[in-house]
Structure 1
Amino acid sequence: MEVLQRLAVQIPDGVFGVERQMEIGKILAGTNAAEHLALRLHFERLLDREIETNAADLAFGGFGGHGKIWYRTYGAMRPDPDMGTLECDQAGVLIQSILMEQQRRQLYERRNLDFSYSLVRGDIIHRFRCDAYFDLDHCAVAIRAVQARIRPYKDLGFHHNVTKIMSLAHTKSGLTLITGITGSGKSATLDSIVELNNTSVDGHIVIIAEPVEYVHRSNRCIIRHREVGRDVLSFKEGTIQSLRQNPDIIIIGEMRDPDTILTALEVTDSGHKVFSTLHTSSAVESLDRIIAEIPSIEQERVRNRLADVLRCVVSQKLVPSLDGKVILAKEVMLMTPSVRAAIKNNNTQEIYQMISEGGELGMITMEQDLRRLHGARRVSVDMAMNFANNKRRMEQLLSAGQQSKVI
């Protein structure tokens, strides 16, 4: 803390915004090895606390942080009084101290930087996904803990028809989407799918992510990790380059823009097996979002191509459970002839009913899965209602469940 305070007071007065952060960068460039080590140990002490408390997120810095160190544990974000305080300039020094010069320049230019951080404790490598950004002219950071161990695929509770689509042994091509809001566990589900294939089939998997979170060890598959901004310039370029690397599976961390969406569809259409994510809450919303991202003149062609290459959409949420933790709730859509026809005919509003009636095939709506969790006494009625996409349908399912108990 002494080193942090000493460096922070060197920042000249009368300098604000990005220029102030650039002054911090200049000060850090002149630090010696002992000072740099002290800063790194201070930063890692905050990460150790995140590990100890099983917190999902850590945040500090910026005007909104109010000098406190915040942790999210089982869904609740609270300051930790035991971790002390960090003034805005001190937080800026600490955040920039773990960045390379190139990363600092990117932070100044874009006012944002995604990066990863590794922490070795014993024989375990803990990975963190970090996002540095500006909050009213000051530097702040959000740090998400990546699970040190992958959740076994079988614990996800997928139907065997869904597993066949996820597995390279059964399905060699097609697009599968894992969707959900930020913090819904999309990356963890993708990691479980990667390990399903890594332990069961011989192949080559290319992961393109920003940043790379969990680092897989090659087992039956050789697994390449390519971080956007570090190993490759963009998702689009990484996907195109992967075609020359003879992959069996391509993982595209996020389909965040029209170029990446079109590239993913083209690569899948060429016969590759592709997984990716979207920030959407339901299967139907995912389909509509993809089409809406494309210029109107291209939408009809993309709609038809999407219907041809899509195999499965999993939309998921992490719901607070009755034991004070969180539990996975999911919606699953499989590409049946009826679903394919609805997409091609631009009748996506019909798909929800198809999913609700497709239980034997392995499909399930978010509301049906929330009802299942409530029936198993894993989540409360309030949580089921809060996390349902279709509130009216959720009420009907819960009412039907109560009536069946009475009968």
Structure 2
Amino acid sequence: MATIQIDRLLDACIRMGGSDIHIVVGRPPTLRISGSLKSLDTKVLDSEDTTALMKSITPEKNQQQLQEDGSCDFGFAFGDYGRFRVAVFRQKSNISMVLRLIPSKFLSFDQIGLPGPTASLCRRPRGLFLVTGPTGSGKTTTLASMINYINENLDTHIITVEEPIEYYHDHKRAVINQREVGLDVPTFAEALKRSLRQDPDVILVGELRDLDTIEAAISAAETGHLVFGTLHTTGCQGTVNRIIDAFPTNQQEMIRVQLSTNLIAVLSQTLCPVKNAKGRVAAYEFMLVTPAISNLIRENKTYRIESTIQTCRNLGMRLLDDHLWELYQKGQISLMELVDKSRNPAEMLKKARENFPKDPDHAKMGPIIGEMQALGQT
């Protein structure tokens, strides 16, 4: 019974264009569609339902981990439709699950809307390329597209280190090895150290979550490898500061020098619901590490990075607010989304009032304007 139910839920998620399935006691199964939650027209789940659904898809070793740690993560394939990444956890002594759909098809750079220089950066022989953003911002999809591009176009050896493996890559022009933390290797840092003896050209690190992993990634880039990694940071300037601040004070000057010579680009992204349509569109902040930006990193003047990005638009760089404004002008995102995702919401709101005074969403912004005024943002 539970297996039939989970299959129906997975099928509904794919059919309705969902990105996630939420399974929790006291509510019907709920899908995230275009960024919003929508409950399915079915029964409210009780404790027995969520436990049965969990047992129908969770491997024994992960069930044991759930008993010991209160949570576990794993992935599984659902026919030819794609894979699901699963997070199982206890709450109020009940079982909850979140299943994220990982589509089986890779998107092209044009389909995702990646910046122009992305393809040439994927052909670089060495360096560190960071993709950043909050959880659910599409970092995994972007990186999978980059790895697929390299796999299809270059004779290289690619090693990925993930927890869990989400997109499965077949060997194309490249040889590709995918290692899962907790299954194939104990930690990200250990996998990175070992990978340097495995003749890699390209290394993907699923998450730069601690000092050891960040240090190993920078070292791998420094020793002649192209390294891709993710961070849960917002903006290019914030990403550089986050990496430097992860190190003890007495090492930060050395790290600034290493980062200035090995970092090649930062792509910071967020996903926005498409206005009056299904689906989501990505908004980007993109920084190429030019000699000017390299100097700013080395000289501890990262506060000038954003102004430098703004003056280097001809190289393909852009600030997040500029891209959000571009999407708003094209009618792809709403005024609410523009203000919510912007770094400078008051400035964006003022700009929208001046340029699009007839936008009906202005009427909905009254309470938000009041909050901004109370916070001194307008």
Q: Same fold (TM over 0.5)?
A: yes
Equivalent AA in structure 2 for residue 390 of structure 1: N
What do the CA deviations read for 1:297-324 (whole angstroms, capped 9, x no partner)?
A: 3222222211211000000111112232
The residue that corresponds to 1:205 in the other structure is 158
Q: Which structure has the greater CA radius of gyration?
A: 1
Cα distance between partner residues in 2 of 1:400 and 1:251: 44
- Give runs of aligned pairs for residues 4-403 of structure 1, distance below 5 A: 39-61=2-24, 65-82=25-42, 84-120=43-79, 124-165=80-121, 167-168=122-123, 171-324=124-277, 325-395=279-349, 398=352
Cα distance between partner residues in 2 of 1:370 and 1:393: 12
Equivalences, count: 356
Shift of 1:148: 2.2
The residue that corresponds to 2:360 in the other structure is none
What do the CA deviations read for 1:235-275 (whole angstroms, capped 9, x no partner)?
A: 11111221122111100001111111111111111111000
Cα distance between partner residues in 2 of 1:222 and 1:85: 47
Runs ≥4 residues deviating over 4 A: 395-403
Unaligned runs of 5+ in 1: 2-38
Cα distance between partner residues in 2 of 1:230 and 1:125: 24
Cα distance between partner residues in 1 of 2:199 and 2:81: 29
- Tell me the percent identity: 31
With over 3 angstroms needed to count, the CA separation of the structure-2 counterparts of 1:252 and 1:400, relative to structure 1, is farther
Report which stretch shifted further, 354-363 or 381-390.
381-390
Shift of 1:343: 1.3
The residue that corresponds to 1:16 in the other structure is none
Shift of 1:159: 4.2
8 A Cα contact 1:281 1:389, kept in partner: no
Unaligned runs of 5+ in 2: 358-378
Cα distance between partner residues in 2 of 1:45 and 1:301: 54
Q: Secondary structure at the match of 2:44?
A: coil
8 A Cα contact 1:180 1:186, kept in partner: yes
The TM-score normalised by the length of structure 1 is: 0.83
Equivalent AA in structure 1 for residue 12 of structure 2: R
Shift of 1:279: 0.8
8 A Cα contact 1:316 1:331, kept in partner: yes
8 A Cα contact 2:115 2:286, kept in partner: no
With over 3 angstroms needed to count, the CA separation of the structure-2 counterparts of 1:103 and 1:376, relative to structure 1, is same
Cα distance between partner residues in 1 of 2:57 and 2:116: 44
8 A Cα contact 2:231 2:239, kept in partner: yes
Equivalent AA in structure 1 for residue 55 of structure 2: Q
Cα distance between partner residues in 1 of 2:67 and 2:300: 43
| RMSD, aligned α-carbons | 1.9
Cα distance between partner residues in 2 of 1:208 and 1:401: 46
Cα distance between partner residues in 1 of 2:214 and 2:351: 35
The residue that corresponds to 2:371 in the other structure is none
Shift of 1:396: 6.3
Equivalent AA in structure 2 for residue 157 of structure 1: G
Report which stretch shifted further, 40-49 or 108-117.
40-49
What do the CA deviations read for 1:39-60 (whole angstroms, capped 9, x no partner)?
A: 4333222211111111001011
The residue that corresponds to 1:5 in the other structure is none
With over 3 angstroms needed to count, the CA separation of the structure-2 counterparts of 1:200 and 1:101, relative to structure 1, is same
Cα distance between partner residues in 2 of 1:399 and 1:164: 39
Equivalent AA in structure 1 for residue 222 of structure 2: D
The TM-score normalised by the length of structure 2 is: 0.89
The residue that corresponds to 1:25 in the other structure is none
With over 3 angstroms needed to count, the CA separation of the structure-2 counterparts of 1:51 and 1:156, relative to structure 1, is closer
8 A Cα contact 1:368 1:397, kept in partner: no
